[in-house]
């Protein structure tokens, strides 16, 4: 089983959106092995939930998700359990490697690992619904490339 952990700052926008999109895209794929997808944040506020704008986007796209899910703080146990850790920004990549040096061989920038030009997926937090939609499309493109890479082995 391959365990993928998606990481952003607060685990309310980008990483839970990426988690839901990746799970949705993998529903009809046959990889030849099991895949587990989860997400967490570097600076989570206790009790914070997935952004209402993310919930709206996922609902519009008819993508299954848990709108009541609390944000999850990245910790040692999550890092140790993950086979592949994908961050949304280069700064988050550096933070993960500084906090959890043992993860350095398993942590990558999502866009770069997916074969795209290494670029940050900017945080839409507090932005317009269109900003969230743009972020979703950036994540979706990276994930499509990621899935192709996973299918190729």
Structure confidence at residue 153 (pLDDT):
74
Residue 48 CA to residue 120 CA, distance in Å, equals: 23
What tokens appear for 102 in the block? 């043992």
34: how many CB neighbours lie within 10 A of its CB? 8
Q: Contact 110/88 with Cβ under 8 angstroms?
A: yes
Mean pLDDT is lowest, of 19-33, 84-98, 104-118, 138-152, for 19-33
- Sign, Cα dihedral of 123, 20, 104, 149: negative
Residue 121 CA to residue 105 CA, distance in Å, equals: 21
CA distances to 42, 60, 64, 136, 147 from 27, rounded to whole Å, are 28, 18, 11, 18, 11
* Residue 4 binned pLDDT confidence (cut-offs 50, 70, 90): very high
Cα-based angle 148, 135, 51 (whole degrees, multiple of 5): 115
Strand partners, 2: 35
What tokens appear for 71 in the block? 């944000």
Residue 58 CA to residue 118 CA, distance in Å, equals: 25
CATH classification (class only), 2-152? alpha beta
Total length of the chain? 153
Mean pLDDT of the chain: 96
Per-residue pLDDT tens for 92-124?
999 999 999 999 999 999 999 999 999 999 999
Q: Where are the domains of the chain?
A: 2-152
Structure confidence at residue 77 (pLDDT):
98
Per-residue pLDDT tens for 60-79?
999 999 988 999 999 999 99
Task: List residues with catalytic annotation.
Answer: 8, 14, 123
Mean pLDDT of 13-41: 94
The per-residue DSSP string of 56-105 comes to HHHHHTT----TTPBP-B--HHHHHH-SEEEESSHHHHHHHHHH-GGGTT
* Residue 29 binned pLDDT confidence (cut-offs 50, 70, 90): confident
């Amino acid at each position: 089983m391959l365990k993928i952990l998606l990481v952003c700052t607060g685990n309310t926008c980008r990483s839970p959106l990426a988690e839901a999109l990746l799970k949705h895209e993998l529903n009809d794929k046959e990889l030849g092995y099991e895949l587990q997808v989860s997400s967490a944040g570097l600076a989570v506020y206790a009790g914070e939930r997935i952004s209402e704008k993310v919930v709206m986007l996922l609902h519009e796209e008819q993508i299954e998700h848990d709108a009541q899910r609390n944000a999850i703080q990245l910790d040692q146990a999550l890092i140790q359990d993950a086979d592949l850790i994908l961050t949304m920004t280069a700064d988050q990549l550096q933070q993960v490697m500084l906090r959890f040096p043992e993860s350095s061989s398993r942590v990558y920038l999502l866009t770069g690992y997916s074969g795209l030009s290494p670029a940050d997926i900017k945080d839409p937090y507090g932005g317009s619904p269109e900003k969230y939609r743009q972020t979703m499309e950036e994540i979706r493109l990276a994930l499509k490339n990621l899935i192709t890479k996973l299918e190729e082995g």
